[in-house]
Amino acid sequence: MRILGIDPGSETTGWGVIEGDGRRYRLVDFGSIKASASLKFSTRLLKICQGLEDVIARHTPTDCAIEDGFLATNVKVTMKLGQVRGVAMLCAERAALDIHEYSPRLVKQTVVGYGNAEKHQVQEMVRVLLSLKRAPQPHDAADALAVAICHFHHAGIAQRLLAAEAGVRLTPATATRRRAIR
């Protein structure tokens, strides 16, 4: 399984790709897509879309894990983040990735063990879990990797439960991939 994690942001969208065999995972790549606040919002959305399409084409993930929206105190900010999430989900759907959404609290709980963890705690745990020398920068990329790690753990548990119920032994070839929409 190769997972693309996305931390949506209207100025900086973090992304991270990990892969694993169902038991262990490793880092493939990570980064961020920066869209200057001086650009029109629609232009920023296009830049994010093109950046994510490039990441998907380069790394060919099978799954996309995206951080679910949260309710900001500013309604405009909440709506803009929703639009960025929509663009990210559209890119993933176009590439026929299996899309999974996780709340920020569940991601922190899964990766750090505490649902109210601070950004630096998430960065440090991502560094430890992926055996990196330094914490991923910017924090948006670390958050995206945390979302991917969260999906790896939750998807692995779900697959093992379903396999146990069906009496089937899981192998890497058991994973299926949807066809791309063209």
Catalytic-residue membership of 21: no
Structure tokens belonging to residue 103: 């709340």
Sheet containing strand 25-34, strands side by side: 25-34, 12-20, 2-7, 63-67, 98-102
What span, in angstroms and rounded, lies between the C-alpha atoms of 42 and 1? 33
Q: Which residues pair with 7 in a beta bridge?
A: 14
7 is catalytic: yes
Cα gap 74→67, rounded to integer Å:
19
Residue 67 burial (10 A CB sphere; 0-12, 13-18, 19+): buried
Annotated catalytic residue: which of 63, 67, 98, 143?
67
Write down the catalytic residue from 63, 98, 140, 143: 140
Degrees, nearest 5: CA angle 120-133-30: 70
Whether the Cβ atoms of residue 141 and residue 130 lie closer than 8 Å to each other: no
**Catalytic residue list contains 63:** no
Kindly name the residue from 7, 63, 98, 143 that is annotated as catalytic.
7
Instruction: Give the residue numbers marked as catalytic.
Output: 7, 67, 140
